[in-house]
């Protein structure tokens, strides 16, 4: 290859014509696009998009891909034109869409968004990338970590991830995400406290305080390399970590260039609280030599005082004690004071002493802080000990040498302090000595090029050159693997790396580092002599350049560009002595911390001073780092800072280009350009360039042959055809595009010609039609005028006719009116004459009528008076006759008796009526009580009168008898007559008075009755209201009672749960207490047996022959109970099937438990054994049939328990007391477990004890577990099919571009795709049939399918959002067809079983509807978000809109205004982590409760369940037999 200094000149000249869209360099925007308007020789005139016209050489302009996706490509190796402007535009387009990650092969470029994007780092996203093939999903840091982890696990080899970039580019955040994902993949070893990755991240503030400093470009630049080793055990779990530091910039401690700063810790300590500053005798940073070499002391927006406290807190977190922290900052303060010790010439020759009192003060303070002797410190700085074979010579140092010694001590102190901090952090984190492999994350400073570049930039750039060589080798290796994978010939591709630059710097002898060490060893060497030595040595080296205007500067052509170095301080910064005096002085310090920094050295190294080169040490550490990296499989992440303002949505092209160049991304592109930079899959190549060779599409060729036909017709050479891709050399893509443009241009011209012909003909036809129309109009005007004349003549004739007719009609009407007037008058006269005659007749008739009426009235009155007189006389005659009869009857004795009887009857009737009135009055109010009393008194008086009357009658009768006997009959008769008549009259009067009083009382009673009725009506209304109120109170009381019972049940169940936790594992369900019950025998089973005896042998339920009943077993009752339980367990362990739609096993279990009163005993083992049987049945079952069988049984049994059991109100109630509760009539009625109706609603409530409640909780847990197992089995079954449904369009889409001749293959592809969906439908159908066959409640079936469809929705939707190739128009059509299959299945399954499952697909349905809708650019955001996709969030719509591409019709996504509006709405919600998440979460919870099951299931008839043969003949289970009526 040619020179690699500038990668832009490596591109092969391309076919640029007038009208081509190209990229041209711009001083402000780096690259700007435009259109070629003119070509003159080798120059081209370009009209740029910003309105400027520029002229540039053809070799410096690059073609623009007009068919590049608006949102860019996720892997830049897919770019049609792989060059600088193409890379920059792709990154910019993706950054504008918040796509911060982009691949370049397997290199990840991460652009710092400077805003929170939590949705791309949550656990859902981790789950998506777990195990996904690299490149299948959108670029992400998780994908790189996943590849590294999988390679480590599969290949059993350590991996490394190299994270590089400027400070502020996001290296720390990227490292944090890497460690989070690695912890998510492998889990962690169980440790107490913080996790390993947390501890590593918590150490960052400490390392940044002591290892970071402000440079020209960055305020927080790392001045050391950090390699974090994340260690894994044999199970792939994080077991430890270690931080390895490399290449600390030691020279910065003593020498700082303006406007940079020294390490942060010095400034933090100066800004510490006042008591700290006073303790260390510090002042402002301006007063210290090591800090005031630069005029920058503070950072904008940064508080050193706040950072000091933060650093102290970080030290506490990583385990540095308060005492150690005090010692650390004492050393930092000592270094500052040490730098202010200035030396002057002493009295002796070449000697030095502290210059003044200020220097002595700092000397004393340094000795005090380091806890060493002041004199010894001064001697260590100003004198040297020379050890010879004969003697030990102590010589003095001149002031310059003493200053060098002082700076050497400061650098040694600081570097050892930094190493101690790293070791302390590693000890705090904890390392795994048994770790098998690791994943390392390297975070190191990037390439630096400033206006003034010194020794520090030289070492840093040397490091980056070394890393770039490693990077280039890796990239070339990846290129080779790609070529080998595609089986193409690549042997002739030349690879040129930067080994010549590395030889220039590090080669021995003769390299720059070696010459620098050599110059440092000579005392009289200066930077001029060193520079001249470089000029002479490398004058012919192509990478070394001597400036024309400088005698000490030199330039090195690095991979990232030329860097001019100033060698003025190279010698001073490279010198570093290991001084024994410093070692001896601080090794015996009274401070244990300082003494620990200087452990004893081997004896041979402690005799004399030894020169140590920082450059050589730097090179040695770099070599160790490269050995570590070479032992691992590398992965690269290049972090980029889009702008220096550290603000979002700002993309500075020049800044980005510089970082890409320094990060080696452009170098990787250069390597790709050296081979085959353009790689197109066959179907994409055919889709784009098939028009160059139509016969290749019309013939029956496969894709590979069609591609070869196209390339052969194009006449290209040097290309390669792989297994799945076409590989093109640099420039060939542009040539193909140029030919394609020519073909399209020719086609466009043909279309234009046809269009123009069509337009001209249409115009001619329009003119001809217009002329015909004008002629027609003119002729029409003439005809109109002729017609008007004819019309006027006709109108005149018509007017004359009408006028004549009008005149004749007027004359006729006058004559007619006159005739009518005459006729009217004559007729009126005749009518009046007739009226007068009729009036006379009428009056005469009236007079006659009045006279006849009067005569009839007079006659009637006379007749009436005659009748009355006659009647009166006749009635008088009859009365006199009756009177005579009465007088005759009065003389008889019987008349008196009859009168008496009548009176008695009247009295009795009155008495009955009074009593009736009395009863009525007793119901009246208290206000009528007095009147009732009066009536009673009156009645009593009347009774007395009647009694007196009776007595008088009896007395008179006796008197009459005596008188008749004594006197003559006539006289006596007269006397008796007189007496009786008087008595009758008196009695009659009394009766009349009584009747009057009775009438009065009746009136009063009626009034009272009326008032009573009114009161009764009001009381009736009040009673009705009271009854309604009582009903409401009763309802409230019932509901309150139900709630109290439910609360009591819940409290009791909670109490049970607190006593013993539910264990799901089948082999653990048999509790220790239950096992002890089984082992204790009859002693513990006595209570159970005693409780079970009455029901087991109840004559009311025993239908067997009496002889069988009399055969009592000889075994104990407890053993009999255990045998029955054992038999039941053996029975239910079999598949008993179903009776009707009821599971037999559940009904048998429920009947037995209820009959044995197991729910009411304090101790029993039957529940644990039933649970253990269920657990054993489903323990390792993947058979959905068995799981469905037990789900049906468990849910039915749970329903029966839910409607039967209630928590016991009194836990300590004795069995006798419980039995007494059923002694009432209702209790006797409910003795039987089930009534004649045999429904669940008629089951009696049983007070459950602890074992029963525990059994219910365990059964609930098993229902949930079996439900989850069935659901997860179906998920596992359809998951591979869902993946095929998403990936299938990738294979079938290629056949769409081959025209009608490929229709058969296209149809086959569609059928293959539908086959995947039909496979899902078949799985759903089989699953539904299994559940139906086992009579699983429809409620649970609906819940299963609802969650399954939700799972399908989540998987398809998340795949759609994470894979750009799925967000296409054709893929939307495919998925839409598959969703139609699911909809058809839901229709066939009916709502009883499918329920609302179809509604769970709302996200994917709306997303697919958006993909296949036409005219997307015309849709507004309101229409999209409210009409088309109301369920999708703005983040999801934004993701789909930016990832959409039309591979079928070439249409565009929504308009840029809609995208901008979406971005604004997303920015407003940027702080809401929930709203920012565009992925859906699969809900694996249990979507129902026991109450839901109870409410949803119908009544269960358990009365007529036929017991299985195993227990049918057993006398102990006779109660299970169906009872006849």
Tokens 């109301």 sit on residue: 1430
166 marked ligand binding residue: yes
695-703: long-range pairs with CB below 8 Å, 24+? 697/1297, 697/1298, 697/1299, 697/1301, 698/1299, 698/1301, 699/1301, 700/1301, 703/1294
Calculate the CA dihedral of residues 67, 70, 73, 76 and round it to 10 degrees: 70
Nearest C-alpha neighbor of 90 from the set 105, 107, 108, 102 = 102
Radius of gyration of the chain (CA): 58
Helices (H) and strands (E) in the chain, counts: 52, 30
222 annotated active-site: yes
φ and ψ at 635, to 5 degrees? -140, 145
Q: What is the 3-state secondary structure (H, E, C) of 1215-1266?
A: HHHHHHCCCCHHHHHCCCCCCCCCCHHHCCCEEECHHHHHHHHHHHHHHHHH
Active site residue 172: yes
Assess whether 448 carries a catalytic annotation.
Answer: yes
**Angstrom distance (rounded) from CA 285 to CA 305:** 13
Residue pair 333/280 in contact (Cβ under 8 Å)? The answer is yes
Would you say 638 and 613 are in contact if contact means Cβ atoms under 8 Å apart? no
637 phi, psi to nearest 5 deg: -130, 120
170 labeled part of a ligand binding site: yes
Instruction: For residues 773 and 756, give the distance between their C-alpha atoms in angstroms, rounded to a whole number.
Output: 25
Q: Which is the catalytic residue, given 172, 401, 1306, 1477? A: 172
Q: Has 322 been annotated as catalytic? A: no
- Strand, helix or coil at 296? coil
CB 1257 within 8 Å of CB 1205: no
Chain centre to alpha carbon of residue 66? 38
With contact defined as beta carbons under 8 Å apart, do 580 and 598 qualify? no
Question: According to the annotation, is 169 in a ligand binding site?
Answer: yes
CA distance 458 to 556: 9
Judge whether 221 counts as a catalytic residue.
yes
Q: Say which of 20, 167, 552, 1441 is annotated catalytic.
A: 167
With a CB cutoff of 8 Å and minimum separation 6, the contacts of 30 are 84, 85, 88, 653, 654, 656, 657
Residue 1413 has φ and ψ, to the nearest 5°, of: -75, 145
Q: Pull the structure tokens for residue 522.
A: 């000579």
Q: Which single residue is written with the structure tokens 């005392």?
A: 523
Distance between CA atoms of residues 1218 and 988, nearest Å = 78
SS (H, E, C) 1315-1371: HHHHHHHHHHHHHHHHHHHCCCCHHHHHHHHHHHHHHHHHHHHHHHHHCHHHCEHHH
SS3 231: strand
Strands (E), 793-917: none
Q: What is the DSSP string of 1276-1300?
A: HHHHHHHHHHHHTHHHHGGGGGG-G
**Of 446, 511, 675, 1378, which is the active-site residue?**
446
Of 20, 138, 160, 218, which one is the catalytic site residue?
218
Catalytic residue among 99, 202, 229, 448: 448
> Residue 48: beta bridge partners?
34
Catalytic site includes residue 1227: no
Angular region, 156: left φ>0, alpha ψ -120 to 50, beta rest: left
Listed as own residue / partner, the contacts of 297-306 with beta carbons closer than 8 Å and 24 or more positions apart are 297/261, 297/267, 298/267, 299/214, 299/219, 299/261, 300/219, 302/219, 303/271, 304/264, 304/267, 304/268, 304/270, 304/271, 305/271, 305/272, 305/273
Q: Which of 160, 164, 221, 1196 is catalytic?
A: 221
Q: Has 172 been labeled as part of a binding site?
A: yes
Q: Is the dihedral angle over the CA atoms 116, 121, 123, 127 positive or is it negative? A: positive
Calculate the dihedral angle through the C-alpha atoms of 1178, 1180, 1186, 1192, rounding to the nearest 10 degrees: 30
> Is 187 a known active-site residue?
no
Q: In what order do the strands lie in the sheet with 633-640?
A: 101-104, 107-111, 633-640, 159-164, 437-444, 225-232, 238-246
- Residues with a catalytic annotation lie at 167-168, 172, 218, 221-222, 446, 448
Binding-site residue positions for ATP:
165-172
Binding-site residue positions:
165-172
């Amino acid at each position: 290859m040619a020179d690699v200094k500038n990668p832009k000149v490596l591109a092969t000249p391309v076919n640029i014509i007038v009208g081509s869209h190209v990229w041209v360099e711009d001083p402000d925007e780096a690259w700007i696009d435009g259109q070629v308007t003119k070509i003159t020789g080798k120059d081209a005139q370009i009209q740029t998009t910003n309105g400027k016209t520029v002229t540039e050489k053809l070799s410096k302009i690059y073609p623009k891909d007009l068919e590049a996706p608006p949102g860019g490509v996720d892997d830049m190796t897919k770019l049609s034109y792989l060059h600088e402007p193409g890379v920059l535009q792709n990154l910019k387009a993706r950054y504008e869409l918040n796509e911060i990650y982009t691949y370049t092969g397997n290199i990840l470029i991460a652009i710092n968004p400077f805003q929170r994007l939590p949705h791309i780092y949550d656990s859902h996203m981790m789950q998506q990338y777990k195990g996904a093939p690299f490149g299948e999903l959108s670029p992400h840091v998780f994908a790189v970590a996943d590849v590294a982890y999988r390679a480590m696990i599969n290949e059993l080899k350590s991996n490394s991830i190299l994270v590089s970039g400027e400070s502020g580019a996001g290296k720390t955040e990227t490292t944090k995400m890497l460690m989070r994902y690695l912890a998510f993949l492998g889990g962690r070893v169980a440790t107490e406290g913080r996790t390993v990755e947390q501890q590593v991240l918590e150490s960052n503030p400490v390392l940044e305080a002591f290892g970071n400093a402000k440079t020209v470009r960055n305020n927080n630049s790392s001045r050391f390399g950090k390699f974090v080793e994340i260690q894994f055990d044999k199970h792939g779990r994080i077991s430890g970590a270690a931080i390895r530091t490399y290449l600390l910039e030691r020279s910065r401690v003593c020498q700082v260039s303006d406007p940079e700063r020294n390490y942060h810790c010095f400034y933090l300590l100066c800004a510490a609280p006042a008591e700290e500053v006073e303790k260390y005798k510090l002042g402002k940073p301006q007063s210290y030599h090591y800090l005031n070499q630069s005029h920058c002391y503070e950072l904008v927006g940064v508080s050193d005082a706040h950072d000091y406290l933060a650093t102290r807190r970080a030290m506490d977190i990583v385990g540095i004690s308060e005492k150690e922290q005090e010692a650390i900052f004492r050393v930092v303060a000592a270094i500052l004071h040490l730098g202010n010790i200035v030396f002057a010439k002493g009295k002796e020759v070449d000697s030095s002493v502290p210059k003044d009192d200020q220097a002595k003060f700092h000397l004393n303070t340094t000795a005090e802080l380091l806890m060493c002797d002041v004199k010894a410190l001064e001697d260590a700085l100003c004198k040297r000990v020379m050890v010879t074979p004969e003697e030990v010579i102590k010589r003095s140092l001149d002031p310059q040498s003493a200053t060098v010694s002082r700076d050497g001590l400061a650098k040694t102190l600081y570097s050892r302090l930094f190493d101690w901090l790293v070791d302390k952090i590693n000890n705090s984190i904890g390392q795994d000595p048994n770790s098998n492999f690791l994943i390392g994350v390297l975070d190191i400073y990037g390439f630096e090029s400033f206006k003034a570049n010194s020794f520090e930039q030289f070492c840093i750039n040397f490091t980056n050159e070394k890393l770039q060589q490693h990077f280039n080798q890796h990239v070339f290796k990846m290129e080779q693997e790609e070529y080998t994978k595609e089986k193409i010939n690549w042997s002739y591709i030349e690879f040129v790396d930067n080994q010549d630059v590395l030889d220039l710097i590090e080669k021995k002898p003769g390299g720059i580092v070696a010459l620098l060490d050599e110059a440092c060893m000579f005392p009289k060497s200066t930077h001029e002599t060193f520079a001249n030595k470089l000029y002479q040595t490398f004058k012919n080296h192509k990478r070394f350049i001597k400036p024309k205007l400088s005698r000490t500067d030199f330039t090195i052509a690095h991979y990232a560009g030329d860097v001019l170095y100033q060698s003025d301080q190279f010698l001073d910064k490279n010198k570093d002595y290991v001084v024994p005096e410093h070692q001896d002085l601080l090794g015996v310090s009274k401070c244990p911390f300082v003494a620990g920094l200087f452990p004893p050295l081997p004896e041979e190294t402690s005799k004399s001073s030894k020169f140590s080169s920082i450059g050589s040490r730097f090179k040695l550490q770099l070599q160790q780092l490269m050995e570590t990296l070479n032992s691992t499989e590398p992965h690269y992440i290049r972090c980029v800072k889009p702008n220096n303002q550290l603000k979002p949505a700002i993309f500075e092209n020049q800044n980005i280009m510089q970082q890409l160049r320094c990060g080696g991304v452009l170098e990787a592109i250069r390597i790709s350009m050296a081979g085959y930079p353009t790689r197109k899959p066959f179907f994409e190549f055919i889709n784009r360039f098939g028009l160059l060779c139509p016969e290749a599409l019309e013939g029956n060729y496969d894709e590979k042959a069609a591609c070869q036909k196209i390339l052969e017709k194009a006449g290209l050479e040097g290309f390669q055809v792989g297994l799945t891709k076409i590989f093109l050399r640099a420039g060939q893509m542009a040539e193909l595009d140029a030919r394609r443009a020519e073909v399209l241009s020719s086609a466009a011209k043909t279309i234009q010609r046809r269009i123009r012909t069509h337009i001209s003909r249409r115009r001619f036809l329009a003119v001809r039609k217009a002329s015909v129309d004008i002629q027609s109009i003119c002729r029409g005007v003439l005809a109109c005028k002729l017609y008007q004349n004819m019309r006027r003549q006709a109108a005149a004739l018509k007017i004359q006719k009408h006028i004549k007719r009008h005149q004749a009609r007027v004359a006729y009407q006058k004559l007619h009116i006159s005739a009518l007037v005459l006729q009217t008058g004559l007729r009126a006269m005749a009518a009046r004459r007739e009226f007068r005659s009729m009036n006379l007749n009428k009056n005469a008739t009236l007079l006659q009528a009045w006279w006849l009426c009067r005569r009839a009235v007079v006659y009637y009155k006379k007749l009436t008076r005659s009748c009355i007189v006659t009647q009166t006389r006749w009635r008088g005659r009859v009365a006199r006759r009756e009177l005579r009869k009465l007088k005759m009857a009065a003389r008889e004795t019987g008349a008196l008796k009859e009168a008496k009887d009548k009176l008695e009857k009247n009295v009795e009737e009155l008495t009955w009526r009074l009593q009736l009135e009395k009863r009525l009055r007793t119901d009246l109010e208290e206000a009528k009580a007095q009147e009732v009393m009066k009536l009673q008194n009156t009645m009593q008086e009347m009774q007395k009168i009647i009694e007196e009357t009776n007595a008088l009658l009896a007395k008179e009768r006796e008197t009459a008898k005596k008188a008749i006997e004594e006197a003559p009959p006539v006289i006596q008769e007269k006397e008796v007559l007189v007496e009786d008549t008087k008595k009758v009259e008196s009695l009659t009067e009394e009766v009349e008075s009584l009747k009057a009083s009775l009438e009065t009382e009746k009136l009063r009673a009626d009034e009272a009755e009326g008032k009573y009725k009114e009161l009764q009506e009001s009381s009736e209304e009040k009673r009705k209201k009271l009854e309604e109120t009582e009903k409401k109170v009763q309802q409230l009381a019932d509901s309150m009672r139900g709630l109290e019972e439910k609360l009591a049940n819940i409290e009791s169940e909670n109490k049970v749960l607190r006593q013993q936790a539910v264990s799901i594992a089948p082999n653990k369900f048999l509790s220790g207490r239950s096992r002890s019950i089984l082992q204790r025998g009859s002693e513990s089973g006595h209570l159970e047996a005693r409780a079970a005896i009455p029901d087991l042998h109840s004559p009311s339920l025993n239908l067997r022959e009496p002889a069988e009943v009399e055969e009592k077993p000889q075994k104990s009752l407890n053993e009999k109970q255990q045998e029955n339980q054992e038999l039941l367990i053996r029975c239910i362990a079999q598949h008993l099937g179903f009776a009707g739609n009821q599971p037999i096993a559940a009904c048998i279990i429920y009947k037995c438990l209820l009959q044995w009163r197991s729910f009411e005993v304090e101790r029993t083992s039957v529940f644990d054994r039933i649970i253990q049987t269920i657990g054993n049945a489903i323990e390792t079952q993947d058979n959905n049939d068995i799981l469905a069988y037990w789900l049906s049984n468990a849910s039915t049994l749970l329903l029966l328990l839910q409607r039967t059991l209630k928590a016991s109100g009194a836990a300590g109630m004795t069995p006798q007391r419980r039995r007494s509760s059923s002694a009432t009539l209702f209790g006797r009625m409910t003795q039987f477990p089930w009534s004649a109706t045999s429904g669940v609603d008629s089951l009696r409530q049983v007070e459950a004890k602890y074992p029963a409640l525990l059994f219910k909780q365990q059964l609930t847990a098993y229902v949930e577990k079996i439900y989850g197992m069935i659901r997860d089995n179906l998920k596992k079954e359809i998951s591979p099919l869902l993946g095929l449904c998403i990936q299938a369009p990738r294979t079938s889409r290629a056949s769409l571009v081959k025209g009608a001749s490929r229709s058969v293959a296209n149809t086959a592809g569609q059928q293959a795709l539908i086959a995947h969906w039909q496979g899902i439908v078949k799985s759903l159908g089989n699953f539904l049939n299994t559940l139906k066959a086992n009579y699983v409640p429809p409620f649970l079936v609906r819940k299963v399918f609802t969650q399954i469809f939700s799972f399908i929705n989540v998987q398809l939707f998340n795949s759609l959002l994470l894979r750009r190739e799925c967000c296409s128009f054709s893929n939307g059509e495919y998925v839409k067809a598959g969703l139609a299959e699911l909809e058809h299945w839901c229709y066939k399954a009916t709502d009883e079983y499918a329920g609302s499952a179809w509604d769970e697909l709302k996200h994917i349905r709306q997303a697919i509807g958006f993909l296949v809708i036409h005219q997307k650019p015309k849709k507004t955001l309101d229409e999209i978000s409210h009409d088309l996709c109301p369920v999708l969030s703005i983040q999801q719509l934004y993701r789909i809109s930016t990832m959409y591409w039309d591979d079928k019709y070439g249409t565009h996504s929504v308009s840029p205004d809609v995208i901008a509006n979406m971005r604004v709405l997303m920015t407003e919600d940027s702080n809401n982590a929930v709203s920012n998440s565009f992925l859906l979460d699969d809900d694996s919870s249990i979507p129902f409760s026991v109450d839901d099951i109870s409410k949803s299931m119908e009544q269960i008839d358990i009365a007529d369940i036929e017991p299985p043969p195993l227990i049918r003949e057993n006398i102990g289970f006779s109660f299970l037999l169906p009872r006849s009526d």
